[in-house]
Structure 1
Amino acid sequence: MTTATSTTRPKDRKQQIARAASLLFQNRGYHAVSMADIAAEVGITSGALYWHFGSKEELLFHSVVVGLDRLDELMASATDLDDYLRASGELALHRRGLASLWLREARHLPDDRRLVLRRRLVTIAEQLVSLLRPERPDLSEEDAEFLVWTLLAVFASFGVHRITLSQADYLEVHFDLARVVVDCRLETPAVIAHAPSGTERVAFDVELPRRERLIAEATRLFGRRGFNSVSMAEIGAAAGITGSTIYKHFASKQDLLSAVLGRGNERLQAGMAQAMASGANPAEVLEELLVSQVDFALSQRHLLEILISERAELPEKQRRSIELAQRQYGEVWLKLVGAVRPDLEAPVVKIVTDTVFSIINNLVRTRQVARRPDLRDRILEVTTAVLDFPLSGTLGGAEPDGATQRV
C-alpha cells in the first residue's frame, strides 16, 4: 500500500530543502541551525531530510554549489558584459543569500570542499575577465582581475540590502554601480609583489599584558577559523597562558568574543571621530572616513572578519550592544553620503553606502588581489568612483499599481 507521504512528495523536494537551508544559514548562521530546524522549515521529518542530504555540511556545500552553477550559467549565456551585468542583477535580487553563504558560512566547510568552491569562483572570475577585456583593452592583466573581483563584490553587496525600492529601480542602480566599476580609471600600472615567505623578527623582552595577548590571539584565531571552531584552551596556548589562568581574564569564550568585537567597534569609532575633526565640510569628512575605513580593513583583516561574521554568537544583551554601535557608525556614513549626494533618494544612498563597504570588505579578504602593493590606492579609487556614481533617471521612487516590493 502506498503511503500518503510517498504520493504527495513534491518532485522538487531536494530544491525546497536547499532553499530552506540557505535561508536559515543566512539568517541564523551555520552553527545555530540544526538538521531538525531545516526539516521543520520544509515540513518534513528529519528522516526524510536525511534521505536527500547525509549531513548539514553536505547541505551547505550543495547550497553554495547551486549558486555558483547559476553564475556559470549566466556567464555562458551572456552575449556581452552589459548582458551579464543585467542578468547578475536579476540573480542578486532573487538569490540574495548566495553571497553571504560563500563569504560567511562556507568557511565552516572542510578545507577540501572550500578549495573546490574557491576554484569554481576563480574560474567564474576568469570568464568575467574575458567579457571585460573588449571594453577595457587598456588594462593590465592584474588590473582587469582587480576590477572583476570588484564587480563580484558589487554583486555580493546586494545580498545585504533591506530597502523598499521598485524592482526596476533596484536593478538599474545595480547596473549603474557595476558600470562605474567597469569604467573606473586606475591611475598607475599594477605590479603584484608577493610577500616574502618569512620575515625575520628581532627578539625583545617586552610583551603585551596577558589580557591583551588573549584578545590578540582570539582575534587571529576567530578571524581565521570562526568562533565555534576555536576553544579557549587553544587561545590560551597561543597566548602562552595555560590552565584556568585564562578564566581570570575572561569568564567565557563569549566574553572574550565580546571584548574582541568591542575593540573593533572602538577602532572604527576612533577613525570616525578623527575624520569629523579633520574635515571642514561633509565632502571632506566623507573622504577622511573612507580612508579610515580602508586603512582599518587592510590592517585589521581578522578583526574585520569577526565584525562581519561572529556577532550572532553573543548572548542577546551583548549582541544588541555591538549591533547598536555598528548601526550608529553606519548611520553617520548614510548622513554624510546623503549630504554629499543630495541628488540621491534615501534608498539609493543606502545601496551606494553598502556597496562601498562590500567592495572594501571583500577585496581585502580576496587572496587573488589582497597582496597587491597598491591595493589601498586601488580600493580608494574604485570606492570614490562608486560614491560619485552618475544618477540615471529618477531612482528610488515607487512604481504604480503596487509594483514596489521590499527587496
Structure 2
Amino acid sequence: MTTEPTSATRPRNRRQLIVEAAGRLFSERGYHAASMEEIAARVGITAAALYRHFPNKYALFAECAHAMVDRLVGALDELPPEAAPADVLAALVRVTVEHRASGGVYRWEARYLDREDRRLLRAKFGHVVGRVAEAVRREGPLPDERLRVVAALGAIGSITMHHTSIAQRRVEELLLACALRVVATAPAPATGSKHSVELPALPVARSRRAEILAAAVPLFARDGFANVTNGQIAEAVGLAPSALYRHYPGKVDILAAACLQAAGLLAQAVDRSLHEVADPRDAVVALAATYVAYSFEHTALTSVAEAEFVGLPAELQRPLVQAQREHIAVWEQQLRLARPELDPRQARVLVHAGFGVVVEAGRSLRWQDGPDRRAAVTGLVVGALGL
C-alpha cells in the first residue's frame, strides 16, 4: 500500500505558512488588492486547498491581523512577572523583527476588520501595553507612563513598515536601545520656540477638482479607500457621480492626488523648519517638531497617505516613493551630523522609529491637538533618535 505524495509531503504547519504568506501579501498590497489565488500561489498550494483552511479572505485576514499581537502576548507570557523593562522590550523586539515582513498588517489594514475583531485586537494590544507599563513602573515613576510605552511600541513596530536592509542582530540592538530611551523620556513642556511650528495651510478649494479632493480625504480616512464609493464623494460636493469623471479619471486618481498633496505640504513644512538652522541637533529637533505638528494638524490627510499608499498602481506610486526618499534623506543627513557614530542604515532605521513614535503616540492621544501634546510627542521622538 502506498501513501499519496501530497499527504506525505504536506507540512504540519501549513496553516502557519499560509498566515505568514498572507500577512506579507496584505502588508505589501493591502487587504483589498491581495487575492486568495495569489496567497495560495505563494504557499505553493491551490486555491481550493487554501479554502480548506480558511472559508474566505476576511477570515484569513482577521487571523493575520491578530497573529502579530498574539505573538507579542505569547512572548511576554514566557517572561517572569518581575522581568526588567530591558528584558520585556527585548522580547517584543525579537518577535517583531522576526516577523518583520508580515507584522505590519494590524497597524494600518486592521481598519478593515469588523467591530468585534477590532475590539479583540485593542484588548490584546492593551495587555501588551499594560505588561510593559508594569515593568517600567517598577523602575521609577514618570508622568504619562502609557504614552511613553505606546510610543516605544511604535518605535519597535516601525520596522515592519519599511524595507531598510540591516542585519537582524544590529536592528534588534538598535530598536531595543531606542525603545528604552523612549520609555525613560519625561514628556517635554511646551515652552520655548523650538516646539513652535508654523505649517503651510491646506490650499483653499477654489476649483471643483480641489473641492472633490477636500471632500474625499475625510471619507477615505474614516471608512478606508476601498469602502468609499464615487457616489459618496459626489454627494459630498453636490455632484452626480458621473460628473466626477470630468475632473478625475477614477477614484484611485483622487487618492493619488491626496498622497501628492500630503507629500507637498510636508516638503514645504520641512523647508520652513530648516530655514536658518545651522546646528545639526537643532535641525533634528526642528524636523521632529515639524513632523509632529504636521501629523496633528493634517491627521486625515496624513493617515490616508500612509495607510492607502500600497493600494496605488505602481505608476502612481513612483513620484510618492521619490518624495518619501527625499524626505527621509533630509532626516538621515541631519541625524548623522548630530550622531556621527551612526551609519546610513542605522540612521534610517531610527528615523522610521521616530515616525512610528508619532503614529502610535498620536493615536493614543486620539490626535487631540494642543501645544503640550505636540511638545510631549516631539520630546519622545527626540528621545527615540538618541539626542
90-99 vs 20-29, which moves further: 90-99
Matching residue's letter, 1:230: V
CA positional deviation for 1:329? 1.4
CA distance in 1, matches of 2:253, 2:184: 46
Q: Which residue is equivalent to 1:122? A: 126
Alignment of 1:205-244 (within 5 A): 209-244=207-242
Runs of 4+ in 1 over 6 A off after TM superposition: none
CA positional deviation for 1:91? 0.9
Q: What is the alpha-carbon root mean square deviation over aligned residues?
A: 2.2
Asked whether the 8 Å contact 1:25–1:33 carries over to 2, the reply is: yes
Q: Which residue is equivalent to 1:103? A: 107
CA positional deviation for 1:245? 2.4
Alignment of 1:5-404 (within 5 A): 5-78=6-79, 79-97=83-101, 99-137=103-141, 139-140=142-143, 143-187=144-188, 209-364=207-362, 366-367=363-364, 370-371=367-368, 373=370, 374-389=372-387
CA distance in 1, matches of 2:182, 2:254: 39
The TM-score, its normalising length taken from structure 2, stands at: 0.89
What count of residue pairs does the alignment treat as equivalent? Answer: 369
Instruction: Mark the runs of 5 or more structure 2 residues left unpaired by the alignment.
Output: 191-203
CA distance in 1, matches of 2:76, 2:212: 46
CA positional deviation for 1:290? 1.9
Instruction: Mark the runs of 5 or more structure 1 residues left unpaired by the alignment.
Output: 190-205, 390-407
Structure 1 counterpart SS, 2:105: helix
Matching residue's letter, 2:346: V
Matching residue's letter, 2:152: L
CA positional deviation for 1:306? 1.7
CA distance in 2, matches of 1:103, 1:344: 28
- Post-superposition Cα deviations, 1:290-320, rounded to whole Å, max 9, x if no partner, equal 2221111001111111221222333322211
Matching residue's letter, 1:293: Y
Q: Cα 1:91–1:127, aligned 2, differ >3 Å: closer, same or farther?
A: same
Identity fraction in percent: 28
- Post-superposition Cα deviations, 1:96-135, rounded to whole Å, max 9, x if no partner, equal 1454211122112222222221222122212222121101
Q: Cα 1:295–1:71, aligned 2, differ >3 Å: closer, same or farther?
A: same
Asked whether the 8 Å contact 1:264–1:307 carries over to 2, the reply is: yes
Asked whether the 8 Å contact 1:150–1:363 carries over to 2, the reply is: yes
The TM-score, its normalising length taken from structure 1, stands at: 0.84
Asked whether the 8 Å contact 2:133–2:146 carries over to 1, the reply is: yes
CA distance in 1, matches of 2:163, 2:95: 16
Matching residue's letter, 1:169: R
CA distance in 2, matches of 1:10, 1:345: 41
Asked whether the 8 Å contact 1:275–1:286 carries over to 2, the reply is: no
Q: Cα 1:323–1:337, aligned 2, differ >3 Å: closer, same or farther?
A: same
Structure 1 counterpart SS, 2:278: coil
- Post-superposition Cα deviations, 1:262-302, rounded to whole Å, max 9, x if no partner, equal 11111011112112324234333333222221111001111
Matching residue's letter, 1:279: V
Q: Cα 1:84–1:276, aligned 2, differ >3 Å: closer, same or farther?
A: same
Structure 1 counterpart SS, 2:274: helix
Q: Cα 1:278–1:262, aligned 2, differ >3 Å: closer, same or farther?
A: same
Matching residue's letter, 1:318: L
